[in-house]
Structures are given as C-alpha cells and as structure tokens.
Amino acid sequence: MTMAVLAWAVLRGAENMGYNWQWFRIPRYLLAPDGGPGPLLQGAGMTLLISAMGFVGASILALATALLRLSRSTVGRALARTYLEVIRNTPLLVQIFFIYFVLGPLFDLNRLAAAVLALALFEGAYASEVIRAGILAIPKGQWEGALSLGMRTVDVYLHVILPQALRHVLPPLTSQGVSLIKDSALVSTIAIFDLTMHGQAIVAETFLSFEVWFTVAAIYLVFTLLLSSLARTMERV
C-alpha cells in the first residue's frame, strides 16, 4: 500500500511538471553493448568494494574501542572516549574532507584509502557501543566460571564472551552495515566514481533525473536487503 501511494505521488508530480519518462534509455547504463557492466553497475561494484573494506575496518576499530572502554587502563579508556566523542559529534562529510585534504597529503593516502578510512572511523565509533553493550549483557557468572577454570582474560574473551555477545549484537550491527552502505554515497564528494557519482554524471549528461536516481536507489535497496537477509540467516545458524 505504501509503495503504491509513493508511486502514485511520483507519477502525479512528474505529470504536473510535464516530465517525459524515458525508461527505455536506462538499460544501456546498466549493461554495456558488449554485454559488460555499464557505468551504474561499475559504480555499484565500487560501492560494494568501499563498503566491504569499510565494514572490515569498522569492525576492527569497534572491537578495539569496546575493549578499551571496558579495560582497566585509564589512558586506554580516555583514548577510546576521545575517539567516540570526536567522531560521533562531527558530520561524516567533514571527516571525509579532513582525511582526504589534510591527512591524505601527510600520509600519502589516495582517494580510495581516504574514503575507506573515513567510513571505518565513522561506523566503528557507533558499532563499538553496540559491541560494548553486547559484552556487558553477558552474565557475570560466565566470567567467574571461566576465570575459576584458570583461563586467561584473552581466552575468556575469545572462547566464552565474544561468541555469546555476537548473537546479541548481530541485528544492530547489521543496521550499522546498512547505514555504512548508504553513507558510502558521500565518498562521491572526493571524486570517487561509486554508484552515486556515476548517477550524477549520467544525470548531467542525459537529464534523466527521475529514471537514473530511482535506478540508483533501487540498487542501494537491493544491497541493503541482501545484507539484512544474510544477517537473518546467520541468526538462525
């Protein structure tokens, strides 16, 4: 019902604007004449690459930050807290520009590296609180039982706490993964030809605003739905 109402509103608005739909021109931007991927699918591949690399980096940063927040080290807790406050209280777009234009020249980071780092830092800050909450949700008896058997703290985390916490944090981490895929659209601002950047280029060339952006949105939707389905499958395993 909601989709029907939305489709009606779009069609009605386009009709009032006198817009001439030209969907027949879209397939060439999905598949090239030689059967290879067109610009939109090429951009989709870049979006997947950046999102996958950013998710791996965010997962590592999130786990490290969560463990620092739970550690007895005053310095570690302070560093983790500073990282969280800086990242969560500044816009992602500003962080992308800062990493690319300021840190990029200093550390010889190319566009791809800057984009992945920015996404990893941003999503890792939010995911770390999810992981920390999952660890704290494990009953203290699990800790006490493992330590009473002579297990080291590292072994307790690896073999007892984290496997159980993963089941608690998988749904919210999936939401962070979905957010990461959508947030990756901002990397087009530093001239990375991801899905959004290719969409902008095609619109500028053809003026097929509605058709192109609806197609781009549909591709993002497919990615996020597939990720959500994968997470539900993992929950049942």
- What are the 10-residue block averages of pLDDT along the chain, 237 residues in total? 66 70 90 88 95 94 93 92 95 96 94 96 94 88 80 84 85 88 94 93 90 94 90 73
Q: Give backbone dihedrals phi and psi of 20, rounded to 5 degrees, phi first.
A: -105, 105
Task: Give how far the C-alpha of residue 71 lies from the chain's centroid of Cα atoms, to the nearest Å.
Answer: 27
State the Cα–Cα distance between residues 6 and 10, nearest whole angstrom: 6
Rounded CA-CA distance 233/170 in Å is 11
Task: Specify the pLDDT at position 139.
Answer: 86
CATH topology of domain 37-236: MetI-like fold (1.10.3720)
Residue-range domain boundaries for the chain: 37-236
Determine the pLDDT at residue 11: 67
pLDDT value of position 104: 93
pLDDT value at residue 230? 82
The predicted structure's pLDDT at residue 14: 65
* Helix runs in 92-110, H state only: 92-98, 104-107
Q: What is the pTM of this model?
A: 0.89
